[in-house]
Amino acid sequence: MKVSLTVNGRDHVVDVAANTLLVDLIRSRLGLTGTHVGCDTSQCGACTVHLDGRSVKSCTMLALQAEGAEITTIEGIGTADTLHPMQAAFRECHALQCGFCTPGMIMSAIDLVQSANGTLDERKVREGLEGNICRCTGYHNIVKAVLRAAESM
Amino acid sequence: MSETGIGKSVKRREDLRFITGRGRYTDDINRPNQAFAVFLRSPYPRARIVSVDPSGANEIEGIIGVFTGKDLAADKLGDLPCGWLVKSKDGSDMKVGPHPPLAVETVNYVGEPYGVVIAETLAAARDGAEVVVTEFEELEAVVALDRATKSAQIHANVPNNLCYEWALGDADATNAAFAKAAHVTKLEISNNRLIPNAMEPRAAVASYDAASQEFDLVTTSQNPHLERLILSAFVQLAPEHKLRIVAPDVGGGFGSKIFVYPEETAAAWASRRIGRPVKWTAERSESFLTDAHGRDHLTKAELALDKDGTFLGLRVKTRANLGAYLSTFASSVPTFLYGTLLAGQYRTPAIYVEVEGVYTNTAPVDAYRGAGRPEATYVVERIVETAARELKIDPVELRRRNFIPPDAFPYQTPVALEYDTGNYGASLDKALIKADYTGFAKRRADAERRGRKRGIGFSCYIEACGLAPSQLAIQLGAGVGLYESGEVRVNPTGNVTVFTGSHSHGQGHETTFAQIVSDKLGIPFENVEVVHGDTGRVEFGLGTYGSRSLAVGGSALIKATDKVIAKGKRIAAHMLDASIENVDFAEGAFSVRTSNQKLTFGEVAFAAYVPSNYPSTEEPGLSEKAFYDPKNFTFPAGTHIAEVEVDPETGAVEVVSFVAVDDFGHVINPMIVEGQVHGGIAQGIGQALMEHGVYDEAGQLVTGSYMDYCMPRADDLPNFTIDTTVTPCTHNPLGVKGCGEAGAIGAPAAIMNAVTDALGVVDIPMPATPERVWRALYRA
């Protein structure tokens, strides 16, 4: 079956099986391996991407459900030379260690900041990131980074 | 001092690839023509494999083959070994149950692999695994740890399921101490089973080239050289020089990726068998079932004190769950990494510990962040706190009274270790200020008014890191040395490629190691590249665990850098027509003491590779290697103070403040060290309040997903207050001790001391879930 979607600004038409997950399309078919798979129960959030501007867990969607959607992955928000403010804040605040949860964490955090309309505080950041698990940082610096990025976004 | 030198919070160079999605983890790597592996796993905790019928799978399109433990055995693959021989107190060797890479006759824990389906696609392999028909004869399983020695026998060569009965210390002296004690505090506690849960599941991409007979195995390893050594010397997969193991970006380890596992081994074997690359990536459920678990102790401890609260003796008896098989370092964790730490920060003159290592039909248990030292700290700091409450002495005062004083170092403990340095009072003092201990009574009263119970808990932990002088470790049963290798390769244009046998999977070595080498050579940070995790590029290495990378691996780099400088001086002396004694090296330049002549590091490097004006006694080139064998363990120590509030309505525990003041010796990159402490504390709080690997009575893992195993999330944790004190390690060139595990070691006791303080109970088993706390509150 064919699915047409836009990923990081590029149009794709991909032939997929009906049971192909969106994350598999992103990783295996488009080769965008920045989006990770950390669990099999939609809990860890390592696979988080943006679908039409909102964060979704791409392991919990069929590729076919993304028909006509605009997908943004971690590769689509900034480059090493032109970092997104959230990427820059993660680096600045040492909000990552092994880096595996980081892409999903950043994608969730961007949506969190954008939908908060400037009302974020530490408690709201902690609650807002509840769907993303990090095993390395204890979240301390992630929370700091999100609040810092919120100032410049 | 340069902005990127030792002591500076240099931003990590690793980060740019991770924050832009350009990391390269094992599952991101694909090989042309690769096949996919899915494992056949036991649904039973203990069963005899009667037959495996793959005919259904073979009818599915895309199936390449179904292989079982018998196929690996027929190829004469050896067992997965345990690398540390522990002897029982009667002098006999530990009893090792045979551990084939894939089970052959019997399966011994739920999830144990006994076969593998290889197919053109992952979907086909999954479908194939579904329809393989295996007939099992279920056997009586051994699950409960307390009854394990009086249950069915798991391994034919291991009576009573007892791997060893190990002991350390002077039993007579300890008994004598108890005989004269004015007070004895007794405590029965457990240390809950944990499941490591690095966020990146284990994975392997194995390729075999029949023409060269070479294997290339990309895998999620904390120590690729050790894996290569084991797969060649013990498993006999391939000779060492024909086996390249690459551990690329690795998404966390926490110990679980030290070990040599069945799946990576079988995937490599299968790639040779089918003549194509084979890829395997664990699903999270497989991680839960088969990554080596951590902790799982039952302990009875007794502390003898005189009438003033001076510790006279400590007697500890522990039963440690080893799981169904001995994992790579399993035997050493509840013995040499546990019993040796029972002196803690105290002058306790007599200590005796006995440990029973016991097999059960559960996943193998091995090192998990802290490995033995959190268990020891938990025993010591829980019983000290309990003694203080019984004697109605302030817990801070009781600790202070018994601390090893700063002028007593080096200090020989009664349990084998010699602490080189420390100042425990200094960390405690600083932590008390940070935690505002004097204000606690008021905070508790405030909480009471809000209907909440507030408690405070202390943990003055010590750990032994930087394992260890090789000779000593080998005498104690280690199968390998525990040195580290390093190479500093100066390129002709003066920039430097550093090779280390340590492995970074979140610790930021690419930054820290570049800091120390660039600082030492006086060259820009950007001019130093760090290479790790590839047996094809790095000479040898023991890898990263036990907070050893900087103390041991970093020291090897300092040693190699010193050799580079020494050779540079000889070259510079010749070029400057000076005697070697008159050549100094500082800030990236060789200078002559008796004149104003100078050569930059780059000029000398260039001369080494274009040797015209060059000493006839020197070989060209400027590249030096070193192996560093530590002279002793390092002994990071500190004080952690937790404050919690309990909601009596729900039993929920909130960590309202956590202060950690740690002595790691000199700190190279404070930002990275703080991050390590944060992460360790989170895992320690997770152990104390949330995490628990639970098997039901039948031997099924009931906490096999993130729906059931409670991982700490952002809204479960507070911000942490972190600080350090410094007593430099006396026996390594950087004066560093290691910081990776401290949080996980100190935190559980601090939290549980706070929870029991809030509740006014002696003990509550970890994790202190709302249910357990609520029951403890309303038991009466």
Look at strands B113-119 and B162-169 and give their pairing: unpaired
CA distance B244 to B240: 8
DSSP structure class, residue B699: S
Q: Give the mean pLDDT per block of 10 residues along chain A (153 residues).
A: 97 96 97 97 97 97 98 97 97 98 98 93 97 98 98 93
Which residues touch A81 (CB under 8 Å, ≥6 apart)?
none
Closest residue on chain A to B17 (Cα): A80
8 Å CB contact of A41 and B715: no
CA distance B443 to B461: 25
Closest residue on chain B to A19 (Cα): B123
Closest residue on chain A to B29 (Cα): A33
Closest residue on chain B to A131 (Cα): B713
Tokens 């479908």, residue located: B127
Which residues touch B441 (CB under 8 Å, ≥6 apart)?
none
The H-assigned helical ranges of B185-283 are 224-233, 262-274
Chain A residues whose CB is inside 8 A of the B251 CB are 36, 38, 98-101
8 Å CB contact of B19 and A83: yes
CA distance B506 to B516: 18
8 Å CB contact of B705 and A40: yes
Sheet containing B133-138: give its strands across.
B106-107, B47-53, B133-138
Residue to mutate among A43, A75, A136, A144, with most B CBs inside 10 A, is A136
Chain-centroid distance, C-alpha A42:
13
Quick one: pLDDT at residue B460? Answer: 98
Nearest to A99 among B14, B672, B706 (CB): B14
8 Å CB contact of B199 and A44: yes
**Overall residue count recorded for chain A in this entry:** 153
Helix-strand-coil split of chain A, %, nearest 5: 40, 15, 45
- Would you state the structure tokens that stand for residue B159, as one six-digit string? 């009576």
Sheet containing B243-246: give its strands across.
B63-68, B113-119, B35-41, B278-281, B203-209, B214-219, B243-246
Nearest to B19 among A32, A33, A90 (CB): A90
DSSP structure class, residue B610: S
CA distance A73 to A27: 10
Closest residue on chain B to A102 (Cα): B19
Quick one: pLDDT at residue B692? Answer: 98
8 Å CB contact of A98 and B17: no
Nearest to A130 among B676, B713, B743 (CB): B713
8 Å CB contact of A34 and B283: no
Closest residue on chain A to B722 (Cα): A140
Tokens 């060139």, residue located: B733
Sheet containing B496-500: give its strands across.
B528-531, B496-500, B484-490, B623-628
Chain B residues whose CB is inside 8 A of the A100 CB are 23, 25, 198-200, 251-252
Residues A43 and A133: beta-carbon distance below 8 Å = yes
- For residues B613, B615, B620, B623, the Cα torsion angle rounded to the nearest 10 degrees is -110
Closest residue on chain B to A89 (Cα): B19
Quick one: pLDDT at residue A118? Answer: 85
Count H helices and E strands in chain A, helices first.
Answer: 5, 5
Nearest to A80 among B16, B680, B683 (CB): B16
Residues B30 and B279: beta-carbon distance below 8 Å = yes
Smallest CA–CA distance, residue A152 to chain B, in Å, is 18
- For residues B16, B21, B23, B24, the Cα torsion angle rounded to the nearest 10 degrees is -160
Instruction: Answer yes or no: is pLDDT of B480 > 90.
Output: no
Cα distances (angstroms) measured from residue B27 to each of A24, A35, B24, B264: 12, 11, 8, 13
Percentage of chain B modeled with pLDDT above 70: 100
Smallest CA–CA distance, residue A92 to chain B, in Å, is 7
> String of b and e for B338-354 (b: at least 16 CB within 10 Å)?
bbbbbbbbbbbbbbbbb
**Left, alpha or beta for B311 (phi > 0: left; psi -120 to 50: alpha)?**
beta
8 Å CB contact of A37 and B27: yes
Q: Is B713 in the A-facing interface, judged by CB distances under 8 Å?
A: yes
- Would you state the structure tokens that stand for residue B97, as one six-digit string? 């149950």
CA distance B585 to B218: 41
Question: Shortest CA distance to A84 belongs to which of A102, A55, A106?
Answer: A106
The H-assigned helical ranges of B576-627 are 601-609
Quick one: pLDDT at residue B1? Answer: 54
8 Å CB contact of A136 and B679: yes
CA distance B495 to A104: 36
- Tens digit of pLDDT for each residue in B585-630? 999 999 999 899 999 999 999 999 999 999 999 999 999 999 999 9
**Overall residue count recorded for chain B in this entry:** 780
> If residue A56 lies in a helix (H) or strand (E), which one and from where to where?
strand A54-57
8 Å CB contact of B719 and A37: no
CA distance B11 to B567: 32
- For residues B226, B230, B231, B234, the Cα torsion angle rounded to the nearest 10 degrees is 170
Smallest CA–CA distance, residue B544 to chain A, in Å, is 14
**Left, alpha or beta for B451 (phi > 0: left; psi -120 to 50: alpha)?**
left
Residues B238 and B231: beta-carbon distance below 8 Å = yes
8 Å CB contact of A100 and B743: no
Nearest to B249 among A99, A130, A139 (CB): A99
8 Å CB contact of A39 and B683: no
Chain A residues whose CB is inside 8 A of the B23 CB are 34, 99-100
Residue to mutate among A97, A102, A121, with most B CBs inside 10 A, is A97
- Would you state the structure tokens that stand for residue B473, as one six-digit string? 């470790």
Question: Shortest CA distance to B553 belongs to which of B563, B538, B566, B535?
Answer: B538
Instruction: Answer yes or no: is pLDDT of B2 > 90.
Output: no
Chain B residues whose CB is inside 8 A of the A96 CB are 15, 18-19
Question: Shortest CA distance to B638 belongs to which of B603, B613, B610, B667?
Answer: B667
8 Å CB contact of B678 and A122: no
For range B530-543, the mean pLDDT: 96
Residues B244 and B238: beta-carbon distance below 8 Å = no
The H-assigned helical ranges of B613-726 are 670-689
Q: For the beta carbon of residue B151, count every other beta carbon within 10 angstroms.
A: 18
Quick one: pLDDT at residue B467? Answer: 86
Q: Is B741 in the A-facing interface, judged by CB distances under 8 Å?
A: no
Nearest to B251 among A74, A91, A100 (CB): A100
8 Å CB contact of B197 and A135: yes
- Tens digit of pLDDT for each residue in B265-320? 999 999 999 999 999 999 999 999 999 999 999 999 999 999 999 999 999 999 99
- Would you state the structure tokens that stand for residue B562, as one six-digit string? 């010193």
Indicate the SS3 state at residue B703: coil
Closest residue on chain A to B711 (Cα): A133
Percentage of chain B modeled with pLDDT above 90: 97
Residues B736 and B634: beta-carbon distance below 8 Å = yes
Quick one: pLDDT at residue B780? Answer: 56
Question: Shortest CA distance to A87 belongs to which of A114, A58, A107?
Answer: A107
Smallest CA–CA distance, residue A41 to chain B, in Å, is 7
The mean pLDDT of chain B is 97
Cα distances (angstroms) measured from residue B286 to each of A24, A37, A77, B289: 19, 13, 33, 5
Residue to mutate among A21, A44, A98, with most B CBs inside 10 A, is A98
8 Å CB contact of A91 and B11: yes
For range B454-468, the mean pLDDT: 95
- pTM, whole model, 2 decimals? 0.97
Residues B521 and B564: beta-carbon distance below 8 Å = yes
CB-facing half-sphere around the CA of B10: CA atoms within 13 A: 28
Quick one: pLDDT at residue B492? Answer: 98
Instruction: Answer yes or no: is pLDDT of B333 > 80.
Output: yes
Report, in angstroms and rounded to the nearest whole number, the Rg of chain B calculated over CA atoms. 27
8 Å CB contact of B20 and A130: no
Chain-centroid distance, C-alpha B467:
11
Chain-centroid distance, C-alpha B286:
20
- Would you state the structure tokens that stand for residue B283, as one six-digit string? 């699903």
**Left, alpha or beta for B477 (phi > 0: left; psi -120 to 50: alpha)?**
left
8 Å CB contact of A125 and B713: no
- Tens digit of pLDDT for each residue in B712-753? 999 999 999 999 999 999 999 999 999 999 999 999 999 999
Instruction: Answer yes or no: is pLDDT of B580 > 60.
Output: yes
Which residues touch B533 (CB under 8 Å, ≥6 apart)?
B221, B224, B246, B247, B248, B250, B503, B504
Q: Identity (one letter) of the amino acid at B272?
A: R
Nearest to B252 among A39, A74, A100 (CB): A100
Q: For the beta carbon of residue B702, count every other beta carbon within 10 angstroms.
A: 13
